[in-house]
Amino acid sequence: MNGEMIPWENATVHVMSHALHYGSSVFEGIRCYETSKGRCIFRLGAHIKRLFDSAKLYRYAVPYSAAEIEQGCRDSVVKNELKSAYIRPLLFLGEGSIGVVPDDSISINVIIASMEFGSYLGEEGLKNGIDVCISSWARTTSASLPILSKAGGHYLNAQLIGGEARRNGFAEGISVTARGTVSEGSAENIFVIRDGKLYTPPLSAAILNGITRDSAMTLANHLGYEVIEQEIPRELLYVADELFFTGTAAEVTPIRSVDGIEVGSGSRGPITEAIQTAFFGLFNGETQDEWGWLDSVEKSASVLSS
């Protein structure tokens, strides 16, 4: 926290922190995997670059360099003695002013937490797929907020989308844009497979520019599949051959039904399985990391003193 290792129970903030009142924070979710080559953080550089981009869009000054934050992520995994981990770097505005518009009196804080974290949508869901619904809540668009920023306040919209789905017995919800086209899940990007081709909504569909999304597109191309970024009408989800979510937390999760309508065979499809296998193969050694996505914790950790 702000450059020092501190115990979990001491990582507290003031109740008048700006972020608590107005959602003024930016963050990342990053996974560290136990691999055949030791602990590796998946696409650490890309995640921290997006953290800085998110801060820039809200004009928050990051008080550390990208290299320092990257090292802090490694150190946090080591200090917590984790074999695999979910890493949460977060920049937030602290106390200093109750004004909505932050000024120079407000402190800027950075924390990095590492913790154990299993499959976000369930281990069974990774294999057999999950049931989802179309949410009644539309995705917030760039007309109101810089959607490419992974900002804390944006996730109020995600809470409504995911919460509505879970209250109605579904594992997750899918949002649509103001035009009625497919956007994304509450916290995941989405892919549609039809006639052997992969389709995914473009950035203009009010989606987060997902790093796992980009990875899935790269792996799909590597496997010989065509990936098309285009607007997707809602009804295409009902007649898709396969559907899957991607995200740091969700990883690659198949979707077996939408609004009670079975997708394809009603279970994980062959193309989804191939991409999923290639993705997890990065960590068990079956897929060669041709893109330099794995950042070794062991070779570069320099744990900060307590």
Q: Which residues are catalytic?
A: 150
CB contact at 8 A, 19 and 92: yes
Does 262 score more than 80 pLDDT? yes
Q: What dihedral do alpha carbons 274, 275, 279, 285 form, nearest 10°? A: 30
Reported as a single tens digit per residue, the pLDDT across 171-200 is 999 999 989 999 999 999 999 999 999 999
Reported as a single tens digit per residue, the pLDDT across 199-248 is 999 999 999 999 999 999 999 999 999 999 999 999 999 999 999 999 99
Q: With bands split at pLDDT 50, 70 and 90, how would you rate the model's confidence at 81?
A: very high
pLDDT of 299: 67
Q: Residue 41 has which token pair?
A: 């953080």
Please give the DSSP secondary-structure letter assigned to residue 61. Answer: P
Question: Rounded CA gap, 133 and 153, in Å?
Answer: 23
Among the listed residues 223, 225, 132, the one whose alpha carbon sits nearest the alpha carbon of residue 184: 132
CB contact at 8 A, 135 and 164: yes
pLDDT of 197: 97
Domains of the chain, with CATH numbers? 8-115 (3.30.470.10), 123-284 (3.20.10.10)
Q: Give the residue-averaged pLDDT of 129-155.
A: 95
pLDDT of 304: 47
Does 305 score more than 60 pLDDT? no
pTM: 0.94
Does 123 score more than 80 pLDDT? no
